[in-house]
Structure 1
Amino acid sequence: MSEEFGAPAGGAELAPGADERWTLVFVREFRQAPVVVWGALTEPEQLDQWAPFVPVRNLGSLGETTLTMVDGATREQTPAVVTRAEAPSVLEYSWGEDLLRWELEETAGGTRLILRHTLSHPGTEAMVAAGWHLCAEVLRRLLDGRPVGVIRGADAMDHGFEELRVAYAKLFGI
């Protein structure tokens, strides 16, 4: 992964989650106000530019939806339910058997984003952290007005995914 694209692995930890599952706690700082970051977390048109999935509807309201994972020409639909949507501070929804909770805190410099991703499958912690790392870097550039294009699925391998996975595994002591 080139220095130009992203920072080294970090800003993440594992915490015991519900039902003996692990929760990846991932923290990033953005220069934009929480309302701007909220839009990037909830609006399908924006999510399609940085996230690993595209929702069929805006995630800013409660209820069922579908998240479509995209990997090149492959599409995989996963059911989801938005259980909490308190703009612009807390967004929580299921992603299949996983649970994602996004917390946005206003800071002097913009927004602190805290993602709590409770994992349903043990052994995926470093892989998930590497994926969110790349997504967060793409989001940062998008919000800064320097879009690089979405990086997800197999395309992530060309952008340092494997190096990040190894680095996060080491960071987590896996």
Structure 2
Amino acid sequence: MDGYGRMDKVEGGYALTFKRHFPCKPEKVFDAVTNPDIFVQWYPFATGRMDLHLGGKMYFDDGEGSEYEAVITELDYPRSFAFREVEDLIELSFQEEKTGAGSEMVFVHTFDDKEMAMYIAAGWHRCLDVLSQLVREETVEWKDNAEELREIYKEKFR
């Protein structure tokens, strides 16, 4: 299992940060994150409708039959991608590792409800594990580990 996320208190709320390492160039990871056909495979509420430009909209299903939108706030190929989803900010940055052996992605979700942190962290942990599988062109497997991850993050975020 890839690295666990950490939570920090930031202005206006909390930031969950995850790092993932990939055996490829940042361009490949950036393309996987911004390709609507791949995005829907690792981001469960995504509809696949994405207007990929700064200020463009992305659409999500709330799971109850309603759709909501996010706005792309940063798009700098292949270094960064960010969007504001409702009140939360999702930021991804990509860089080539100094050794040239691959790349690192830093994923940050800024939100305001600390009580939800263990649930949010467990969810993103699972999503990013699937993104890693997709980038590595492995068979996608959603592990049944949400409850276990929630308990780990509950302890971690005390």
TM-score, reference length from structure 2: 0.87
2:107 corresponds to: 115
Counterpart of 1:46 in structure 2: which amino acid?
I
Within a 5 Å distance, the mapping from 1:22-61 to structure 2 comes to 22-54=14-46, 55-59=48-52, 61=53
**Aligned mate of 2:80, from 86, 90, 95:** 90
Runs of 4+ aligned residues of structure 1 deviating over 3 Å after TM superposition are none
Distance 1:127 1:120 in 2: 13
Structure 1: gaps of 5 or more residues: 1-6, 152-157
* C-alpha displacement of 1:164: 0.4
Q: Secondary structure at the match of 1:88?
A: coil
Paired AA for residue 78 in structure 2 = P
Q: Measure, in 2, the Cα distance between the counterparts of 1:70 and 1:97.
A: 14
Query: Could you tell me whether the CA contact under 8 Å between 1:44 and 1:58 is conserved in 2?
Result: no
Q: Percent identity?
A: 28
5+ long unaligned stretches in structure 2: none
What is the CA-CA distance between 1:70 and the residue it aligns to? 6.7
Corresponding position of 1:131 = 123
| Number of matched pairs | 155
Equivalent pair of 1:11/1:28 in contact (CA under 8 Å): no
- Checking the alignment, whether the CA contact within 8 Å between 1:67 and 1:95 is kept in structure 2 is no
Note the alpha carbon deviations across 1:39-95, whole angstroms, 9 max, x for none.
111111110111123241144x11141331475xx5442221111111111111101
The DSSP-based 3-state class of the residue aligned with 1:85 is strand
In the TM superposition, what whole-angstrom CA distance separates every residue of 1:17-55 from its partner, at most 9, and x where no partner exists?
222x00101111111211111011111111011112324
Q: Give the distance between the partners of 2:157 and 2:94, measured in 1 at CA.
A: 24
